Chains A and B, each alone.
Chain A
Amino acid sequence: MHHAKPKHEFEPKIIAFVCTWCTYAGADLAGTSRMQYPANVRLVKFPCTGRIDPVFILKAFQQGADGVLVSGCHPGDCHYMAGNFHARRRFAAFRKLLEFIGVDLQRLQFSWVSAAEAGKWVEVVTELTERVRAMGPMREFKDLALEEQWSGSLTTPELQEAYEAI
């Protein structure tokens, strides 16, 4: 028996950077337990949250992500002892930088999801997806990336029109 899938105007793209030991296994458990969660999320698996460079988050936004989730082991559970502690500090700093630059932090979510917390994974993903859906597409970075493709500024009406049509 399947639920009727609700139709939405906007399906956000969510990129999730997850650690292989906890959150990836947690997401896997959610899958094998047949739990339902939005298919908007694309997982990228890393050995550890400590491996996730802030520049990956930037890149994700530039390549068209509407929201980014970073998730790993609970503090103290890191497979490499301290990876998530380092990540926690780095992301605390990176959040402040993004905020200062003018990025809405509602699009960026950090979480600890262990291999047993399939329910929490579903909850985190659903909440982020719905929040980003309500916020609409992430325009800022996409506009920058689009401008990057153009060979000059949009000075003529024809160019402006073509640009609007994208």
Chain B
Amino acid sequence: MTTEIIYSAVGEAIRTEAERVLADGTVAAVVGYTMARRKGSAQPVVLTKPEEANQLIFSAACVNNLAVYLTKAKKELPREGRIGIVVKSCDLKALVGLLGESQLKRDSLYIIGVPCVGVLGSTLQPSVELNAETVADKCRECDDRMPQGADFVPTVALPASPALEKKYAVEIARLEAMTPAERWSYWQEQFSKCIKCYACRQVCPFCFCEQCLCDRNKPQMVEGTPRPAGNLAWHLVRAMHLAGRCAGCAECERVCPMDIPLNLLNRKMSRELKELFHSEAGFEVREKGPLAEYNEQDDQSFIK
């Protein structure tokens, strides 16, 4: 039950801080989590008045990455003034990525970091206890439970992280050990489930293009209908466009109605790019991501 104690302390600290910053005019709005209708579930909320601050909560059901509300979904936010935002460390990495890509200005943000011991893998049963079975796969591999560089982080002592099986690492190793033909059929099976609902694109903080390459039809590079060739192309283009940028919040995988292991591709790419170019999403703002810069000494053993 330590999780609940930690998260209720975190929630209390967030409420106090949100009320303070809204009251003294530091921020025009706070993006955070509030209780949703089902018992134990949570939903994003935008608050603009200090007296509303008591609505804010934090729990293991606060799964959303709120960074997306600062780019695509920003219509909900006031135009003027700083925005306060509640972020877990994975969300903060996405936010830092957006800062690096000049999508956001650090001065216009008031970052409320959350010391995190993990969130639920599925919110179908939001009041279920957070344990080794119910924790999200991304949290199993998380080494940064304390957000760094935030404006406010509640002072909470976190327990040592339990050694959990790293599911992505295991799955990547399993796939890498297969023959190309086996991998191809594995991914075909996964991609054939895709219904092209684009929920993964909608929820991704990094998919902020005004017009997606995959929506263009002159020329049409990616078939739009949920058919085999187009599905494969969409998922490859998505993985490629997120390569070196993805912060690993795994929202794509969480929202996928067909349970396609989307974050597996992202994790694989981030591992490869770390190995090749020693660049990884973190708490430091990178001026350029690994695929936006170059080094004259880069490996070119694959080029004749």
Contact = CB atoms under 8 A, between A and B. Distances in A.
Contact of A85 (B185, B186, B276, B298): B298
A124 B265 contact: no
Interface residues of B, number: 48
Nearest to A106: B180
Given A89-B290, A89-B294, A93-B272, A100 B240 contact: no
A98 to B, nearest CB: 8
The interface residues of chain B, by DSSP majority, are classed as helix
B240 A111 contact: no
B265 A95 contact: no
B276 A93 contact: yes
Contact of A90 (B213, B236, B291, B300): B291
Contacts of B133: none
Given A88-B303, A89-B294, A90-B291, A102 B186 contact: yes
Contacts of B296: 75-76, 85
B233 A110 contact: no
Contacts, number: 121
A120 B298 CA distance: 22
A19 to B, nearest CB: 13
Nearest to A63: B229
Contact of A102 (B187, B295, B299): B187
Interface string B264-304: 01001100110011000000000000111111101110111
A82 interface: yes
A85 B294 contact: yes
Interface in B45-59: none
Contacts of A42: none
Interface in A17-50: none
16 contacts: A89-B291, A92-B302, A93-B240, A93-B244, A93-B291, A94-B240, A96-B272, A97-B240, A99-B180, A100-B175, A100-B265, A101-B232, A102-B178, A103-B180, A110-B303, A110-B304
Interface of B: 175-176, 178, 180-188, 213, 221-223, 227-230, 232-233, 236-237, 239-240, 243-244, 265, 268-269, 272-273, 276-277, 290-296, 298-300, 302-304
Q: Which 9 A-B pairs have the closest CB atoms?
A: A102-B184, A102-B183, A85-B294, A111-B304, A144-B229, A96-B272, A144-B228, A110-B303, A148-B229
